[in-house]
Amino acid sequence: EIVLTQSPATLSLSPGERATLSCRASQSVSSYLAWYQQKPGQAPRLLIYDASNRATGIPARFSGSGSGTDFTLIISSLEPEDFAVYYCQQRSNWPSITFGQGTRLEIK
């Protein structure tokens, strides 16, 4: 099973600041990595697929990069609605699908 490790566990920033979230895979997942945002009481929302492609309706301040084992989600300038939990997910070796443990982005 491919293990995804996200860092940091918690990130404390202020609106307007830049957020950098990391996801590291225990073995290569090529570019088959996605990012999700989850707010309290809501279902997750797909942000980024195939490492760097924004999903429909996702603002341009969200960007993803990486390949192989190291991936990054960047939020260029935080809006109040961006404070949430973020998960990465891989489906490189279907049928095994795994998620990272999440990064909580909180208001400083």
Site residues for other proteins per CB under 8 A: 32, 34, 36, 38, 43-46, 49-50, 55, 87, 89, 91, 94-95, 97-102
Q: Would you mind telling me the total number of residues written for the chain in this entry? A: 108
| Distance of closest approach, residue 99 Cβ to other proteins, in angstroms | 4
Q: CB nearer to other proteins: give 57 or 80.
A: 57
Residue 105, Cβ neighbours under 10 Å: how many?
21
Q: CB nearer to other proteins: give 38 or 76.
A: 38
Q: CB nearer to other proteins: give 13 or 58.
A: 58
Question: For residue 50, is it left (φ>0), alpha (ψ between -120 and 50) or beta?
Answer: left
| Distance of closest approach, residue 61 Cβ to other proteins, in angstroms | 20
Backbone φ and ψ for 102, nearest 5 degrees, come out as 100, 150
Give the chain's radius of gyration (CA, Å): 13
